[in-house]
Amino acid sequence: MSSIEHGQETGGFDAGEVIIHHVSNSSIEHPIIHLPTIFGIDFSVTKHVLMLWIVAIFVFSVTTWAVRKYTKQDRPIPTGFMNALEAVVLFIRNSIVLPNVGSKFVNSWTPLILTFFFFILTANAIGMVPIFDVLGMINRFILQVPQSDSHNFINNLLHGGTTSTGNYNVTSALAIITFTAIVIAGTKAHGFFTHWKNLVPKGLAWPVYIILIPIEIIGMFVKPFALTMRLAANMTGGHIAILAILSFVFIFSGLFHSTLAGIGVGVLVSVPLAVGISALEIIVIMVQAYVFTMLSAVFIGMAINVHH
Amino acid sequence: MKIQSDFTAKSFQYLQKMIRESGPAASASYTLIGAIILLGGIGYVFDKWLESSPWFLLGGLLLGLIVGFYELAKTVWGMSEKGRKGERENG
């Protein structure tokens, strides 16, 4: 029996459906912005695509604004936000990219790694901010728009989760960029044919290559797969944990047929636990952005500095 | 006050060092798990498709273990080679 059927049969609150609704992408059947179908692909904008756009515009605008402001000032000393930005940029360049990629290629690969870091960090962080929920409340209680109005733009915005990095399609696209970067880095450092030859150690007996070549080829695809799964699973997992704990309020009020029981569980258990997990999530947001960045640098470095 | 700032600076330097050195280890651990999940998953899909349960799943898991441990071994070899090089340089 599906969770939806179960919820309908019991006539109560269905935690599973609510959680899925809050972490998954909105349906392509009810897109936020309608766009035409080209070559059989529907380009309509869903919630996660909208979030990607918002994140990209935000990161681009903020960094461009900070750097332009810095280059226009008389004293070449960064202050305020630019100071923090410079510290992060230098940390990533000197502690992540340089030790892995080496001094020859550090300036070639730092921009990509920095883009990964700021994009993933912002996409992770924006998922913790309840922007659309606040908009929904304003829409519902101040503007008095009924929740059933499916033509209302803000009502459409409420469907689906806001963490685009919790979507496997997004993380696999990021991992494909890393995979392409690995191939380009190896080709740039050693030439096209030598890069592929470098996959396996030299000077082994030929029967060993029969086993080793397939293992190395599989290993090549496993690396971006690990990147994809780790980021998406971590970002989804945290949100599921928070929502599951908050669901206790409705589950217990339904179980005991008492609103007071729900409020009691909420005050004593759900809200303190959800606050604690949200605090942990803030750490997870930074750690996941950092781990993706570091692993991308390690994989690119492995293609450049071949050790067998 | 100076002792406090020295301590903070040293702590940050040590953290930076740890982060720098943790890269290959993190990559090996994620690749080990990733290989088992990916190849086990592919095996599971093949089993569903060909109704041959559990053979492709078992084969996939085994291959995942081999690939994962090979990647882990490569990281360990690389790290020990780096360590030997460092020892030689330091005399």
ipTM score assigned to the predicted complex:
0.78
* Cα A191 to Cα A150: distance, rounded to the nearest angstrom: 56
Q: Does a structural domain hold residue A135?
A: no
pLDDT in tens, B62-82: 999 999 999 899 888 887 777
Taking CA atoms, what residue in B is nearest to A221? B35
Half-sphere exposure of B40 (CA within 13 A, CB side): 12
Q: What does the block give as tokens for A175?
A: 């991992």
For chain B, the structural domain boundaries read 23-89
Contacts of A99 in chain B (CB under 8 A): 20, 23
Q: How far is B23 from chain A (nearest CA, A)?
A: 6
Note whether A294 contacts B31, CB cutoff 8 Å.
no
Helices (H), B1-91: 2-50, 55-89
Torsional sign, CA A98, A101, A106, A109: negative
Tell me if A44 sits within 8 A of A35, measured CB to CB: yes
What average pLDDT score do residues A93-100 get?
90
What average pLDDT score do residues A229-238 get?
92
Tell me if B28 sits within 8 A of B75, measured CB to CB: yes
Q: Specify the pLDDT at position A11.
A: 54
Partner-chain residue, chosen from A99, A218, A302, that has the shortest CB–CB distance to B67: A218
Q: Does a structural domain hold residue A36?
A: yes
Query: Three-state DSSP class for A158?
Result: coil
- Using CA atoms, how far residue A86 sits from A80, A90, A97, A282, B16, in Å, is 10, 6, 15, 21, 16
Q: Specify the pLDDT at position B46.
A: 95
pLDDT in tens, A148-192: 887 888 888 888 888 999 999 999 999 999 999 999 999 999 999
pLDDT in tens, B21-47: 787 888 888 889 999 999 999 999 999
* Cα A197 to Cα A195: distance, rounded to the nearest angstrom: 5
Q: Does a structural domain hold residue A220?
A: yes
pLDDT in tens, A284-307: 999 999 999 999 999 999 999 886
Give A2's pLDDT tier (boundaries 50, 70, 90).
Answer: very low
Contacts of B60 in chain A (CB under 8 A): none
Q: Does a structural domain hold residue A265?
A: yes
* Cα A233 to Cα A171: distance, rounded to the nearest angstrom: 10
* Cα A29 to Cα A17: distance, rounded to the nearest angstrom: 18
Note whether B24 contacts A99, CB cutoff 8 Å.
no
Q: Specify the pLDDT at position A147.
A: 80
* Cα B5 to Cα A41: distance, rounded to the nearest angstrom: 58
User: Cis ω on the peptide bond leading into residue B54 (within 30° of 0)?
Assistant: yes
What average pLDDT score do residues A254-267 get?
92
Higher pLDDT, A13 or A251: A251
Q: Specify the pLDDT at position A4.
A: 45
Q: What does the block give as tokens for A213?
A: 């070549």
Q: Does a structural domain hold residue A259?
A: yes
How far is residue A58 CA from its own chain's centroid? 15
B46-81 burial code (b ≥16 CB/10 A, e <16): bbeeeeeeeebbebbbebbebbbbbbbebbeebeee
Partner-chain residue, chosen from B24, B63, B77, that has the shortest CB–CB distance to A298: B24
Contacts of A298 in chain B (CB under 8 A): 23-24, 26-27
Note whether B71 contacts A219, CB cutoff 8 Å.
yes
Q: Is A220 on the interface with B (CB under 8 A)?
A: no
Partner-chain residue, chosen from A100, A215, A219, that has the shortest CB–CB distance to B23: A100
Q: Does a structural domain hold residue A139?
A: no
> Phi, psi at residue A205, to the nearest 5°?
-65, 145
Q: Specify the pLDDT at position B2.
A: 67
Note whether B31 contacts A96, CB cutoff 8 Å.
no
Tell me if A251 sits within 8 A of A264, measured CB to CB: no
Integer-rounded Cα radius of gyration of chain A = 24
Q: Specify the pLDDT at position A233.
A: 93
> Which residues are CB-neighbours of A204 under 8 A, at least 6 positions away?
A212
* Cα A137 to Cα A175: distance, rounded to the nearest angstrom: 36
Half-sphere exposure of A107 (CA within 13 A, CB side): 1
Q: Which H helix or E strand runs over A41?
A: strand A41-42
Q: Is A226 on the interface with B (CB under 8 A)?
A: yes
Residue A9 pLDDT exceeds 70: no
Give A8's pLDDT tier (boundaries 50, 70, 90).
Answer: very low
Taking CA atoms, what residue in A is nearest to B67? A215
Partner-chain residue, chosen from A96, A219, A295, that has the shortest CB–CB distance to B30: A295
Structural domain count of chain A: 1
Q: Which of A143, A193, A181 is nearest to A298 (CA)?
A: A181
Note whether A99 contacts B20, CB cutoff 8 Å.
yes
Residue A279 pLDDT exceeds 70: yes
Q: Does a structural domain hold residue A177?
A: yes
Note whether B67 contacts A291, CB cutoff 8 Å.
no
> At CA A272, angle to CA A271 and CA A278, rounded to 5?
85
Q: How far is B78 from chain A (nearest CA, A)?
A: 6
Q: Does a structural domain hold residue A145?
A: no
Residues of chain B with a CB closer than 8 angstroms to some CB in chain A? 16, 19-20, 22-24, 26-27, 30-31, 33-35, 37-39, 63, 66-68, 70-71, 77-78, 81
> At CA A131, angle to CA A141 and CA A270, rounded to 5?
85
Taking CA atoms, what residue in A is nearest to B74? A308
Taking CA atoms, what residue in A is nearest to B35? A222
